[in-house]
Chain A
Amino acid sequence: MAKPMEQITWQELETGAVVVEVGNSVQYETGSWRSERPVVDKEKCIKCMFCWLYCPEGCIRQAEEGHFEADLTYCKGCGICAEECPVKCITMVIEEK
């Protein structure tokens, strides 16, 4: 990735406020917003992908073991995946510092 956002000065911006690097919001880690974390019961996951489909962050992916889980770098902890999982294998767990 190019420079982190906070190091870019206004002189370096493209004319017309053009952003040339597509999708560079990946550098903004929204996982820090989270107060609850989705935890998947790997055994119970039927790999239906509904959590992936409904996640507003698009941050759920298939783990190597085959089940689906959130990328905690971006997961905001909204709880939609836990609510929508047809087999209820996701539990929201409070984040503790």
Chain B
Amino acid sequence: MAKTSISSPKHVEREEFFAPGHRACQGCAEVLAVRLVLKALGKDTIVAMATGCMEIISSPLPITSWRVPWIHNAFENAAAVISGCESGMKALMRKGKIPAKKINFVGMGGDGATADIGMGPLSGALERGHDMIYVCYDNEAYMNTGIQRSSCTPYGASTTTSPAGKKSIGQHTQKKNMVEIAAAHGIPYVATACPSFPFDLMEKVKKASETAGPAYIHILSVCPTGWRINPSEAIKYGRLAVNSCVFPLYEVDHGKYRLTYKPSDKKLIPVSEYLKGQGRFRHLTDSDIETIQAATMKAYERLLRLSEQE
């Protein structure tokens, strides 16, 4: 990034706002993303979270992993609840009932909660212009209920409701582009991130926090259970997704596109390097992989062009 203040783990907040003892699977990069997002936000943060893995693993009553105020809401309404919190707290501050201070109001949900069931409330919250951040943890399926496809499941992935077989490639639709949908609201800040690039992720979360008005951050969150990979490889697969351009790291800052990381010629890899080794893509043929390669580069080149525009 242009002005990077986090470039070593030594610059990262030491305090943990998400306690151990949570019940995420071994090697879950989604819970790692939550941990890093909270480090970037700090303690003056209120979170509203949709049902999904991160809610289930962090809050089996009567225990919680949260060290910031957190509310669990229904599957569809994290954005509605957090926008209500923001409006309510702002009113209390205006009336002098609580001290005025900067608070991060953060809605969080999985890809199912965000791109499918909570899309309407999210769109409403973005359009109303609340001073809030919405974070989508995209593990590319409804993992909590047993790996069902969502509109963010990529083409060719086998899930329990898009199983690959003799007559099916698995998911036969293209991944919904939530990032562009958020950007189309004309909100001040939109970005993609991945915990395999932790400094980039935390920089973006900080930027979202400093931006007045709505911000949307879409985090690719590797799920070893649903992707059928070894838990020890969760960070590696996030890196492969980015270096194969399957998941480009970029931001749209007040309408200006910028790739915050461009894989160098040495780092750039074919999509096959990312797909192979993942159980959910095991069935893909060479020609399927070629199709995915072509679509991936087309989307990446579009981003390159957009980020070169003044």
Please determine whether B28 and A79 come into contact, CB atoms closer than 8 angstroms: no
Q: Which chain B positions have C-beta within 8 A of A13?
A: 61-62
Q: Give the CA-CA distance A48 to B59 in the complex, in Å.
A: 32
Give the interface size class of chain A.
35 or more
Identity of the chain B residue whose Cβ is nearest the Cβ of A71 in the assembled complex: B20
Residues of A within 8 A of B65 (CB): 23, 25
Beta-carbon contacts of A44-59 to B below 8 Å, as 1s and 0s?
0000111011111111
Interface positions of A from 37 to 86, Cβ below 8 Å from B: 48-50, 52-59, 71, 73-74, 76-80, 82-84
* Interchain CB contact (< 8 A) of B20 among A26, A50, A80: A26
Check A53 against B198 for contact (C-beta < 8 Å). yes
Tell whether, in the assembled complex, residue A28 and residue B23 are in contact, meaning their CB atoms are under 8 Å apart.
yes
B165 CB-CB contact with A under 8 Å:
no
Q: How large is the interface on B (under 10, 10 to 19, 20 to 34, 35 or more residues)?
A: 35 or more
A30 CA to B222 CA, complexed, in Å: 20
- A1-40 Cβ-contact flags toward B at 8 Å (1 or 0): 0000100100001000101011111111110010000000
In the assembled complex, the Cα of A85 lies from the Cα of B238 at a distance in Å of: 16
B19/A26 in contact, CB under 8 A: yes
Would A56 and B232 be within 8 Å (CB), given that A19-B64, A22-B66, A50-B9 are in contact? no
Asked if A25 meets B21 with Cβ closer than 8 Å, knowing A50-B9, A58-B35, the reply is yes
Query: Is B9 a contact of A53 with CB atoms below 8 Å?
Result: yes
Known: A78-B27, A83-B233. A52 touches B9 (CB 8 A): yes
Interface membership of chain B positions 45-86, coded 1 if the CB is closer than 8 angstroms to chain A and 0 otherwise: 000000000000011011111110000000000000000000
B267 at the binding interface (Cβ < 8 Å): no
Instruction: Point out the residues of chain A lying under 8 angstroms from B32, CB to CB.
Output: 54-56
Chain B 1-34 near chain A by CB (<8 Å), digits 1 or 0: 0000000111010001011111110111101100
Nearest residue (CB) in B for A25 is B21
Set of chain A residues within 8 Å of B122, measured between Cβ atoms? none
Contacts of A71 in B (CB 8 A): 20
Q: A58 and B20: CB pair below 8 A?
A: yes
| Residues from chain A with Cβ under 8 Å of B24 in the complex | 56
Among B64, B232, B235, the residue within 8 A (CB) of A22 is B64
B198 touches A19 (CB 8 A): no
New contact pairs (16) apart from A24-B19, A30-B22, CB-CB < 8 Å: A13-B61, A13-B62, A23-B64, A25-B58, A25-B65, A26-B21, A28-B21, A29-B21, A30-B23, A56-B29, A56-B32, A58-B16, A58-B18, A79-B232, A83-B233, A83-B236
A residues neighboring B (CB under 8 Å):
5, 8, 13, 17, 19, 21-30, 33, 48-50, 52-59, 71, 73-74, 76-80, 82-84, 92
A–B Cβ pairs within 8 angstroms, 9 of them: A23-B19, A23-B67, A28-B63, A58-B20, A78-B27, A79-B230, A83-B232, A84-B235, A92-B232
